[in-house]
Every structure is written in structure tokens, then in C-alpha cells.
Amino acid sequence: MAQQVPIAENLFTWPSDNPALIGGRSSDGRVVFPYRAHRLVGGVREELERVELPRRGTLWTFTTQRFRPPAPPYAGDDEQSFEPFAVGYVELPGVLRVEARLTEPDPAKLRIGQEMELRIVPFGTDADGNQTMIYAFAPADGGKGADHGSE
Amino acid sequence: MAPSDVDVAIIGVGLHPFGRYPGKSALEMGEDAVIEALSDAGVDWPAIQVLYAGSMEVKNPEAITGLLGMTGIPARAVFTGCATGGTTLAMAANAIRLGEADVALAVGLDKHGRGAFSDHPSVSGLPDWYGEAGLFLTTHFFGMKINRYMHDFGITPITLARAAAKAFRNGAANPNAWRRKPLTEEQILESQYLNYPLTQYMYCGPDEGAAAAVVCRADLANRYTDKPIYLRASQMFSRREGALEVLTPSLQLDTAPSPTVFASKAAYAQAGIGPDDVDVAQLQDTDAGSEVIHMAENGFCGDGEQEKLLAEGATEIGGRIPVNTDGGLLANGEPVGASGLRQVYELANQLRGRCGDRQVANARVGYAQLYGAPGTAAVTILTT
């Protein structure tokens, strides 16, 4: 039976009842995303600590993608099943802003400043027939209450 | 005579108009642009002592010597994304400053297919999943940056439409432009969103073309031309941590300005002038939102003032600060390696009073800005 597998390792905790994005924290408190093993801190190469990022934040900005991105590299649905999607930066309070696909594709239902929460959602199919899973952010109120104007 | 504090002059410019040319190679378009620039400068190809060539699609654009003449000169390729044109000109100028040459040539040439640029994320140091997920698209950055800018500074969609309508009007007056049909603000606003809030007609398209400039020691310029254009500043900066840049999976919360802001300030300081001294500006308008943001990032107005300035026509030919008088990227498209030298071609012609119907009266100071992946900006200032 086909399994659900993450689109990449070290991107989010999976499987998990309460998945989170994975970042890398250095001794100065700075967090990078996506996680990487080390970086230069004050001129010294430092191992980064794997940390789980906050699951909720606010929408900092967003845009939409109307046509299917060129494939490869795009590995999502095919020309027939493609649905326009939205992307944005979600500000995770006190940590950083992460770029993500948004579950709500309609720009009229998105608003800068609205509360968003992390979801791990089905994305595509890998070479072994497994369903790939990707991180995305969804309006925390399910989209309701975000209709009062983004223009 | 050249001013005493200036060491490099532009003595000739050439352009292969941007558009689509089935069956013609990027190098052949570059050859046409160089021949026009040489003729404009009144120098023969063997007089060129150093060549810098820029292209995205052609790995060895310096192979253009095979078409122009293999004279043995140092011929180098440079590529800095959409800022390539600024870099080729700066490198040719530096060759003169270093004493490597008295006369040097910068050329940019490209030939892109239709549609959005596509590549493997690894070419930009990004992980595979970023491309698989549909995030490896430069256009997302343009939509997201202007969306946030409009939210922060009260810019509305009509201002974006005004910037685009101006580009197509100027393109209609430019015999070399690719898009020569004026569009109304309504047509622009009603075309489909490509990346909200940017519509189809607010975007430039990748295309084909070439541009070239001949530079020489400023103290020799009057041997070649009675209208030399002096290179007063060329600056290039890369991105800083925290800045919202193209193709960036995460941003630190302590934000930083765009590299354009640093390049602009450094260029004004180098030239010893300020934004109020500029008579005509060429700003990177990959999309209408970019032009609006770049007006502020280059010091021509404060954030948010664009709403009023565009309504008043301040950036039109005849306005206080004419922007993208040849139609910019929106009307000319973007052959990436050539685009920056198209700006220089237009500015040199404006400063020499050769622009006919779209001439800016008494233009003496020209300003050109480029911005592109992975967060690179170049600014060039030219004067009579």
C-alpha cells in the first residue's frame, strides 16, 4: 500500500500527531529555515541545533500562481489536474518568516496580518508510488472572517 | 574637454531591437549591436582592446569575436543575473582605469524561449524540494513584494496600471520597442492576475536581443566624438540578511533594505549628485510594481508618494522625473544579458538629444538601475 512520505527529509517532523517545521538554531539565538547542519557565526563554523518552529503565525505577504510551474522542477499535479495556488511568507512570532504554499488559493480570502497555522498536506506522487506530503499554512479561522478586504 | 574627475567616457552605443527573431542567434544579434556601436563611436573593431560580454543563455558570449574578428584581445564573459548589463559596462570601464585598454567594449546578448524562466534550484543554491513544491519562481517575489508594499504605504492597483500604461505609451513612440500598442489602464487592470496583485499586462516577458557600448579613456573621447557621455558612477551590491529578495525560503525578522538602496546611495556619492539632479531614469521594471518600488529605493520619492506622482504624470516624458522613456522592460521585454545595456543605449541617446518624439528636453544626467536574482542591484549614472 502506498505510504505518505515527506517531500524532503529534515523539513518537518513526520509522521507526527503534532508536526512542526524544523529549523537550525545557532548559539546567538538565530534560527535558519530550512534546517542545515552548520553555518558561520561570528566567523566560526558552528553546528546548529535542530529545533521545532512555532506552528502558528501571521500572514506577512502573499501572491498567487495562476499557471502550472515549469516541470521539472515542479513535481505537483499534472496539466489536467493543476489548480492555481497561493504562496506567502508567514511570520512565526519571535523566530523568522517562512515562505510556504497556502491552502487558500483565492486572494480575496487572504489578508495580510491574518492568523495562519501549519498543515501537512498531500502534494504529489514520488517515483515509488508513495504520496508526497508538503507543509503549507492555512487560515487559522478556516478562512472565515478574512473577507474584509485585502485591497 | 573631459571633466578632471572623470576617467571613462561612452563614445558609441548600439542596439539589436528586442523581440523575437526566429533563425537568428544571440551572437548574431550581438554582432549587429556591436557594429552599430562601433559605427556610432567611429572606431574599427581592431581598435577594441578589451571585450566584456554578458549572456544568460550563451555560456561563452565572448565567442562573438568569431563573428567580429579574432584579434587576440582579452575577451571575458560576465554574468550577474538581471544586473549583467551594469556589470559588463563597469568591467569595461575598470579595464580602462587599470590601464589594460584605452578603448573597450561591453556587449550583452540573449535569446530566451517563451514563458517563465525555469531551471534546477541547485543553480541558485536551493534544495530540490523548493523547485518540486512550485516555489522556485522569481515571479512570486514580485507579487509578494508589491503586495506588502501596497499594504504598508497605501499604493493602489491604479498606480500599477498607470506605470504599465506609461510603458506601453513610451513603447509606442519607440521604433525599437517590442510592444508598440498602447493599452488603457482599464485593459491592464482587467487582464488576468498572473501573480496577485500583478496582472498579465503588468509583467515583462523574456525575449531576444542585444545591446553594446564602446568606452574609452575620458581624455581621449574628443578624438572620437563631439558628444561624449561620461560614466560618473557604477555601483553593484548583493543582498543582505533579512531583506525580502527573490527566491528566499525564509527571512530573518530584522529586515534590511534592498541592495538597490545601497547601490543607489553609493552611486550618488560617487557621482557627487543627488536624485533631484537626475533628468531621466531607467528603472528595472520586470513588473509595474517593481518600477513603483524602485522609484523610492532610488531616492526619487518617499515610500507611498508614487500614488500621487503617477496620478500627476511625474514619470511621463515631460514630467518631473521621466522613467523608462523607451518603454522599459515592459515594452521591450528582457533578454537578461542585454537588458542593462539597453538602458545605457536609451540614456546615451537621451543625453545626446537623439530621441525624437520621446526626447526629454535638455537631458544632461541619466540614471540606470537593475535588480535581479539572487538579490543583486546595479546603478549607473551618466552625464553629458
The interface pTM score, or ipTM, of the predicted complex is 0.94
Lowest-confidence range among A60-74, B45-59, B292-306?
Answer: A60-74
pLDDT at A142: 57
* A89:B128 CB<8 A: no
B4 has a pLDDT exceeding 90: no
Cross-chain CB nearest to B148 (options A64, A87, A112): A112
CA distance B178 to chain A (A): 24
**pLDDT at B3 (0 to 100):** 74
* Phi, psi (degrees; rounded to nearest 5) at B328: 60, -160
How many angstroms separate the CA atoms of B162 and A13, rounded? 47
Q: Are B105 and B52 in contact (CB under 8 A)?
A: yes
Q: What letters, b where the CB count within 10 A reaches 16 and e where it falls short, cover A51-87? A: eebbbebbbbbbbbbbebbbbebbbbbeeeebeebbb
A28 touches chain B (CB under 8 A): no
Q: Which of B342, B3, B320, B75 is nearest to B204 (CA)?
A: B342
In a domain, A146, yes or no: no
Residue-number span of the structural domain to which A100 is assigned: 4-139
Choice between B365 and A145, residue whose per-residue pLDDT is larger: B365
> Cβ contacts (< 8 Å) between A8 and chain B: which residues?
127-129
Give me the mean pLDDT over the B89-96 stretch. Answer: 97
Positive or negative: CA dihedral A96, A69, B327, A107? negative
Q: How confident is the model at residue B21 (pLDDT cuts 50, 70, 90)?
A: very high
In three-state secondary structure terms, A82 is coil
Percent helix, strand and coil across chain A, each to the nearest 5: 0, 45, 55
β-strand partners of A125: A131
Q: Residues A119, A55: contact at Cβ < 8 Å? A: no
DSSP letters spanning B121-143: GGGGT--HHHHHTT---HHHHHH
**B156 interfacial to chain A (CB closer than 8 Å):** yes
Mean pLDDT of the residues in chain B: 96
Segment B292-311 shows an average pLDDT of: 98
- Residues 207-236 on B with a CB inside 8 Å of A are none
Do residues B57 and B112 touch, judged by C-beta distance below 8 A?
A: yes
**In chain B, where are the structural domains located?**
8-115+208-231, 134-203+232-383
pLDDT digits 0-9 by tens, A98-113:
999 999 999 999 999 9
The set of long-range contacts for A121-129, using a CB threshold of 8 Å and a minimum separation of 24, is A122/A4, A123/A7, A123/A75, A123/A76, A123/B133, A124/A7, A124/A75, A124/A76, A124/A77, A124/B132, A125/A2, A126/A5, A129/A2
Q: What is the pLDDT of residue A151?
A: 37
* Whether the domain at B8-115+208-231 and the domain at B134-203+232-383 fall into the same CATH topology: yes
Contact B147 A8 (CB under 8 A): no
Write the residue in A33, A86, A94 that is nearest to B249 by C-beta: A33
- All three cell numbers of B33: 549591436
Q: Which residues contact B374 (CB under 8 A, 6 or more apart)?
A: B81, B124, B125, B239, B245, B246, B247
Plot region of A43 (φ>0 → left; ψ -120 to 50 → alpha; else → beta):
left
pLDDT at res. A1: 59
Kindly report the average pLDDT of chain A as a whole number: 91
Residue B125 contacts A where some CB pair is shorter than 8 Å: no
pLDDT in tens, B213-237: 999 999 999 999 999 999 999 999 9
What integer pLDDT is reported at residue B5 of this predicted model?
76
Show Cβ contacts of residue B229 under 8 Å, excluding neighbours closer than 6 positions.
B9, B10, B11, B347, B348, B351, B352, B366, B382, B383, B384
pLDDT reported for residue A127: 87
Query: Alpha carbon B3 to chain centroid distance?
Result: 26
pLDDT at A147 over 70: no
Percent of chain A with pLDDT over 70: 93
A69 interaction partners in chain B (CB closer than 8 Å) = 116, 118, 134, 136-137
What contacts B339, CB < 8 A, 6 or more positions away? Answer: B82, B84, B85, B108, B211, B329, B332, B370
Give contacts of B196 with chain A, Cβ < 8 Å: 62-64, 86, 107
- A65 near B CB under 8 A: yes
Does A131 reach chain B within 8 Å, measured CB to CB? no
Mean pLDDT of B144-168: 98
Average pLDDT over every residue of A84-108: 97
User: What number of residues does chain A have?
Assistant: 151
Domain count, chain A: 1
Which of A99, A119, A123, A134 is the best residue to mutate to test the B interface, defined by the most B CB atoms within 10 Å of its own CB? Answer: A99
Q: How many CB atoms lie within 10 A of CB B277?
A: 14
Q: Which amino acid is at B29?
A: M
User: In chain B, what residues touch A111 (CB-CB under 8 Å)?
Assistant: none
Inter-chain residue contact A66 with B194, CB threshold 8 Å: yes
Which residue in the set A8, A63, A132 is minimally distant from B144, CB to CB? A63
A85 touches chain B (CB under 8 A): yes
Rounded to an integer, what distance in angstroms lies between the CA atom of residue B6 and that of residue B9? 8
C-alpha cell recorded at residue B112: 530566451
Predicted confidence at residue B1, as pLDDT, reads 63
Give the lowest-confidence range in B123-137, B172-186, B208-222: B123-137
Q: What percentage of residues in chain A have a pLDDT greater than 90?
A: 79
- Chain A residue with Cα closest to B143: A63
- Closest by Cβ to B196, choosing from A67, A70, A107: A107
Chain A residues whose beta carbon lies within 8 Å of the beta carbon of residue B140: 63, 65, 87
Confidence of residue B119 (pLDDT cuts 50, 70, 90): confident
Q: Pick A141 or B78 by higher pLDDT.
A: B78
- What count of residues does chain B have? 384
Whether A62 and chain B come into contact, CB under 8 Å, resolves to: yes
Give the mean pLDDT of B258-277.
98
B68-76's contacts with Cβ under 8 Å and 24+ in sequence apart are: B68/B31, B68/B34, B68/B35, B69/B45, B71/B45, B71/B46, B73/B48, B73/B49, B74/B50, B74/B100, B75/B50, B75/B51, B76/B51, B76/B52
Any B CB within 8 A of A94 CB: yes
Structure-block grid coordinates of residue B287? 513588473
Q: Is residue A144 part of a domain?
A: no
Report the distance separating Cα B75 and Cα B83, nearest Å: 19
- Give me the pLDDT at residue A77, please: 82
Are B71 and B55 in contact by the 8 Å Cβ rule? The answer is no
What fold is seen in the domain B8-115+208-231? Peroxisomal Thiolase; Chain A, domain 1 (3.40.47)
How large is the average pLDDT for residues B46-65? 98
In a domain, A147, yes or no: no
The answer to whether B195 contacts chain A (CB < 8 Å) is yes
Asked if A19 and A13 touch (Cβ cutoff 8 Å), the reply is yes
- The Cα–Cα gap between B316 and B163 comes to 9
Question: What pTM, to 2 d.p., does this model score?
Answer: 0.95
Quote the CA–CA distance of A123 and A4 in Å, as a whole number.
Answer: 10
B195 → chain A, closest CA residue: A64
B19 burial (CB, 10 Å; 0-12 / 13-18 / 19+) is middle
Residue A149 pLDDT exceeds 50: no
- Nearest Cα of chain B lies from the Cα of A136 at a distance, in angstroms, of 10
Question: What superfamily does domain B134-203+232-383 belong to in CATH?
Answer: Thiolase/Chalcone synthase (3.40.47.10)
Nearest-CA distance A17 → chain B (Å): 23
CA distance B83 to B260: 11
